[in-house]
C-alpha cells in the first residue's frame, strides 16, 4: 500500500501494484487528470542549440555499478530478506565497474561524451571507523579510483564526482539497529562527512573540478524514513525524516567550504578549481483535481517542500525550519551566512510528474497531502516503472531553477526501457526542452543521462534498465544501445531540430510494470 503513494523516490523504489497501475483506473476524477498539465509549457523552438563547453555525460553511482561494497548499509540491506526484488545481488549480477574501467570509458568516448558523473564510495575507502580515524584508506580502493580518474583524463572525459549517493559506511549506518540514530541522524555525521569530502578534494583535487556532495537529499530521507525501502527501513517516521533532511542541508554547506579550502588546483584549465553542488531531485507537480482548492493547496505545499525548500536554504540562506513557507518561526532565518551561496551551480535530477491530492488514500503526516500514483495521466506514455513520460516537466523545473540566478547542470534524467524502444525519443525530447530553456535564458551548462549502463536500481534490483549501454550479466561484456548512438548524434550536432524527432518512432507504453 505504501509503495503506491510515494512519488519522489528514486526510480527503482516505486513499484506499482498491478491493480493500481492501470492507466484506465482513473476513477471518478479522470477528467481532472485528463485536463493535462501541459498548459503552461511553451512549444520548444523548431531548432534548439547547445553552447560551446557544454558537459555531455552520463551518470552512475558506486553502489549501483561496483562490486564488494559490503562495508556499507546498502551492503547489509541487499542481504536482508524481502528488501530487494528477487534478492538481486550487485556482487553477482552487476556490471563490476572498477574491473571494467577501460570498457566503460570506451562507452563514453564511443558515444562522444566528454563528462562522467560517478561516486566515490566512502565505505570502500574507509570500511572501518578505525581506518577513518587513522586516515588509513583501503589502498586497493584508492588505486581503483585513481586509475579511473587518470584514465578519464587521458580520454578527455571530465569527472563529476558524487561524495554521497545514498549509501553510508556500515560504521555510521547499520540497518539491524534501525531504532538507533543512523548516518545523517547522528550528531557526529556532519563533521565526519566534511572530513571525508576534504580528504577526497585534497587527494584528487588535481584531477577533479566538479563535485556533488550529496545525491538527492530528500529522496534519501523519504526512502529511509517514510517509505522504508532504503535503510533503515522506517515507515512514516516524519520527525526522523525532517531531522535527516536538515542535517544533510547543513552538512552540505560545511562540506562546500571544506572542498573549496582543500581543492585549489584547476584541473581542466578553465580558471576554476572546484565547482560544488548537490543533486536536487526536482519534479513537475499537478493537482489531482485542479478545481478542488484543497488539492491545489496540497500541491503547492508539496511542491514547495520538494522543489524549493532546500534550494532556498543553500542559495539564499533562507532557513524555513517548520516548512510553512514563512520565515517567522523561532528557528527560521533569512540570509543565514553559513548556508547562503553554498552552491556554485544547481545540479538538477529530473524524471517525471506527480499528482497530489489533499486526501486520497494514505495521507503523509505533517505534509498533509497524498501522492496519487494510481491515477497517473491516461494520455501519457509510461516507462517500465509506470512513470509518466513528461518532457515538459524538464522545462518547468529548469524555469524554476533559473530564478535562483545560478548555472544549472542536469545531473540525472533517464528512462527505464529494457528494449530501448523509447530511450532515443525520451532523450531527444528532454534535451529539446533543455535547449528551449537555454533559449529562454536558463544558464544550463551540462546534461548527464541516467545512466551510462544498466545497473542496480535499489529496491527493484536489476529489473529496470536505465542504461545507454547494456551488459551481459555473466561475461560483463558491454554494448552501446541505439539510444547511445542517438546521444552521439546530438552531441556532435550540438543542436536538435524538430526533424530529428520526426524520424524517431513514437513511444510504446509499457503495458504493465514489468518490475512489479
Ligand atoms: C535517481 C537516483 C539514481 C537512480 C535513478 C533512476 O533518483 O539518484 O541513483 O536510481 O533515480
Q: Would you say residue 319 lies in a domain?
A: no
Q: Where are the alpha helices (DSSP H) in 80-237?
A: 90-93, 101-110, 122-125, 129-133, 139-154, 189-204, 217-222
Angle among Cα 428, 515, 424 to the nearest 5 degrees reads: 10
Structural domains counted in the chain: 1
Q: In degrees rounded to 5, what are phi and psi of residue 356?
A: -125, 140
pLDDT of residue 372: 85
Atom 2 in ligand 1: which residue has the minimum CA distance?
Answer: 10
How far is the C-alpha of 76 from the C-alpha of 83, rounded, in Å? 10
DSSP 387-439: -B--THHHHHHHHHHHTT-S-EEEEE-----TT-SSHHHHHHHHHHHHHHHHH
Q: Residue for cell digits 578534494?
A: 201
Residues 6+ positions from 157 with CB-CB distance below 8 Å: 57, 105, 108, 109, 113, 114, 115, 116
What SS3 class is residue 16? coil
- The answer, yes or no, to whether any atom of ligand 1 lies below 6 A from the CB of 61, is yes
DSSP designation for 87: G
379 burial type by CB count under 10 A (0-12 exposed, 13-18 middle, 19+ buried):
exposed
Residues 6+ positions from 78 with CB-CB distance below 8 Å: 84, 87, 88, 89, 90
pLDDT of residue 250: 98
DSSP designation for 305: I
Q: Would you say residue 3 lies in a domain?
A: no
- The answer, yes or no, to whether any atom of ligand 1 lies below 6 A from the CB of 458, is yes
The percent of the chain in helix, strand and coil, each rounded to the nearest 5, is: 40, 15, 45
- The answer, yes or no, to whether any atom of ligand 1 lies below 6 A from the CB of 432, is no
- Residue 453 near residue 94 (C-beta atoms within 8 A): no
- The answer, yes or no, to whether any atom of ligand 1 lies below 6 A from the CB of 457, is yes
pLDDT of residue 512: 74
Q: Would you say residue 290 lies in a domain?
A: no
CA 222 to ligand 1 centroid distance, Å: 13
354 beta partners: 285
Q: Would you say residue 299 lies in a domain?
A: no
pTM for this prediction: 0.94
- The answer, yes or no, to whether any atom of ligand 1 lies below 6 A from the CB of 219, is yes
- The answer, yes or no, to whether any atom of ligand 1 lies below 6 A from the CB of 126, is no
What SS3 class is residue 252? helix
286 beta partners: 355
CATH code for the domain in which residue 152 is found: 3.20.20.80
DSSP 145-177: HHHHHHHHHHTT-EEEEEEESS--BTTT--GGG
Residues 6+ positions from 400 with CB-CB distance below 8 Å: 282, 307, 308
Pocket test for ligand 1, best of 216, 456, 465, 468 (most atoms within 8 A of CB): 216
Residue 79 grid cell:
542481504
Whether the ω angle into residue 178 lies within 30 degrees of 0, i.e. cis, is: no
Q: What b/e sequence results for 27-59 when a residue is b if at least 16 CB atoms lie within 10 Å of its CB, and e otherwise? A: eebeebbeeebbeebeebeeebebeeebbbbbb
Q: Residue for cell digits 548527464?
A: 448
pLDDT of residue 377: 67
What SS3 class is residue 213? strand
Pocket test for ligand 1, best of 6, 7, 8, 10 (most atoms within 8 A of CB): 10
- The answer, yes or no, to whether any atom of ligand 1 lies below 6 A from the CB of 449, is no
Residue 342 grid cell:
553554498
Q: Would you say residue 371 lies in a domain?
A: no
131 burial type by CB count under 10 A (0-12 exposed, 13-18 middle, 19+ buried):
middle
How far is the C-alpha of 288 from the C-alpha of 34, rounded, in Å? 10
pLDDT of residue 379: 78
361 burial type by CB count under 10 A (0-12 exposed, 13-18 middle, 19+ buried):
middle
Q: Would you say residue 127 lies in a domain?
A: yes
Residue 121 grid cell:
564510495
- The answer, yes or no, to whether any atom of ligand 1 lies below 6 A from the CB of 466, is yes
pLDDT of residue 12: 29
How far is the C-alpha of 232 from the C-alpha of 57, rounded, in Å? 32
Helices 482-493 and 101-110: angle between axes, nearest 10 degrees: 50
How far is the C-alpha of 290 from the C-alpha of 415, rounded, in Å? 28
* CA nearest neighbour of 411 among 441, 382, 444, 385: 444
* CA nearest neighbour of 323 among 408, 249, 231, 426: 249
Q: Would you say residue 32 lies in a domain?
A: no
Residue numbers of the chain with a pLDDT score lower than 50: 1-38
* Domain assignment of residue 241, given as a range: 45-282+340-348+376-502
Distances, alpha carbon 59 to alpha carbons 26, 90, 259, in Å: 35, 17, 21
Q: Would you say residue 289 lies in a domain?
A: no
- Residue 449 near residue 434 (C-beta atoms within 8 A): no
Instruction: Compute how many other C-beta atoms are within 10 angstroms of the C-beta atom of residue 328.
Output: 8
DSSP 342-360: --SSEEEEEEEEEEEESSS
Atom 6 in ligand 1: which residue has the minimum CA distance?
Answer: 11
Atom 1 in ligand 1: which residue has the minimum CA distance?
Answer: 10
Amino acid at each position: 500500500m505504501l509503495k503506491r503513494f510515494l512519488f519522489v523516490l528514486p526510480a527503482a523504489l516505486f513499484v506499482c501494484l498491478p491493480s493500481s497501475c492501470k492507466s484506465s483506473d482513473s476513477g471518478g476524477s479522470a477528467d481532472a487528470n485528463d485536463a493535462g498539465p501541459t498548459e503552461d509549457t511553451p512549444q520548444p523552438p523548431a531548432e534548439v542549440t547547445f553552447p560551446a563547453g557544454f558537459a555531455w555525460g552520463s551518470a552512475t553511482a558506486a553502489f549501483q555499478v561496483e562490486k564488494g561494497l559490503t562495508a556499507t548499509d546498502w551492503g547489509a540491506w541487499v542481504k536482508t530478506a524481502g528488501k530487494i526484488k528477487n534478492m538481486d545481488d550487485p556482487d553477482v549480477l552487476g556490471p563490476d565497474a572498477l574491473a571494467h574501467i577501460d570498457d566503460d570509458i570506451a562507452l563514453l568516448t564511443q558515444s562522444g561524451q566528454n563528462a562522467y558523473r560517478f561516486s566515490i564510495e566512502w565505505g570502500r575507502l574507509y570500511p572501518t571507523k578505525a581506518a577513518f580515524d587513522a586516515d588509513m584508506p583501503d589502498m586497493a580502493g584508492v588505486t581503483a579510483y585513481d586509475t579511473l580518474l587518470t584514465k578519464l583524463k587521458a580520454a578527455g572525459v571530465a569527472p563529476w564526482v558524487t561524495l554521497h549517493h545514498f549509501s553510508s559506511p556500515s560504521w555510521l549506518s547499520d540497518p539491524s539497529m534501525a531504532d538507533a540514530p543512523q548516518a545523517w541522524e547522528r550528531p557526529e555525521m556532519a563533521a565526519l562527512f566534511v572530513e571525508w569530502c576534504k580528504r577526497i578534494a585534497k587527494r584528487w583535487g588535481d584531477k577533479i573540478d566538479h563535485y556533488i556532495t550529496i545525491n538527492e537529499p530528500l529522496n534519501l530521507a523519504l526512502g529511509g524514513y517514510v517509505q522504508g525501502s532504503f535503510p533503515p527501513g522506517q515507515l512514516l517516521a516524519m520527525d526522523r525524516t525532517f531531522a535527516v533532511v536538515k542535517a544533510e542541508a547543513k552538512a552540505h554547506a560545511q562540506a562546500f567550504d571544506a572542498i573549496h579550502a582543500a581543492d585549489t588546483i584547476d584541473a581542466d584549465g578553465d580558471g576554476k578549481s572546484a565547482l560544488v553542488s548537490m543533486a536536487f531531485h526536482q519534479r513537475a507537480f499537478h493537482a489531482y483535481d485542479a478545481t478542488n482548492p484543497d488539492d491545489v493547496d496540497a500541491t503547492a505545499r508539496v511542491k514547495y517542500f520538494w522543489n524549493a525548500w532546500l534550494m532556498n536554504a543553500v542559495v539564499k540562506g533562507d532557513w524555513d525550519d517548520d516548512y510553512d513557507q514563512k520565515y517567522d518561526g523561532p528557528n527560521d532565518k533569512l540570509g543565514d551566512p553559513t548556508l547562503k551561496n553554498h552552491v556554485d551551480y544547481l545540479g538538477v535530477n529530473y524524471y517525471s510528474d506527480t499528482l497530489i491530492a489533499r486526501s486520497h488514500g494514505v495521507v503523509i503526516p505533517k505534509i498533509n497531502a497524498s501522492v496519487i500514483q494510481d491515477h497517473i495521466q491516461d494520455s501519457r506514455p509510461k516507462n517500465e516503472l509506470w512513470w509518466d513520460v513528461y518532457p515538459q516537466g524538464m522545462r518547468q523545473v529548469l524555469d524554476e531553477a533559473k530564478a535562483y540566478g545560478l548555472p544549472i547542470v542536469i545531473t540525472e534524467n533517464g528512462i527505464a526501457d529494457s528494449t530501448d524502444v523509447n530511450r532515443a525519443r525520451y532523450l531527444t525530447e528532454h534535451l529539446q526542452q533543455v535547449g528551449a530553456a537555454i533559449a529562454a535564458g536558463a544558464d544550463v551548462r551540462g546534461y548527464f543521462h541516467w545512466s551510462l549502463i544498466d545497473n542496480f536500481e535499489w529496491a527493484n534490483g536489476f529489473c529496470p534498465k536505465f542504461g545507454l549501454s547494456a551488459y551481459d550479466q555473466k561475461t560483463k561484456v558491454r554494448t552501446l544501445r541505439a539510444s547511445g548512438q542517438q546521444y552521439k548524434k546530438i552531441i556532435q550536432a550540438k543542436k536538435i531540430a524538430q526533424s530529428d524527432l520526426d524520424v524517431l518512432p513514437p513511444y510504446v507504453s509499457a503495458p504493465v510494470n514489468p518490475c512489479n
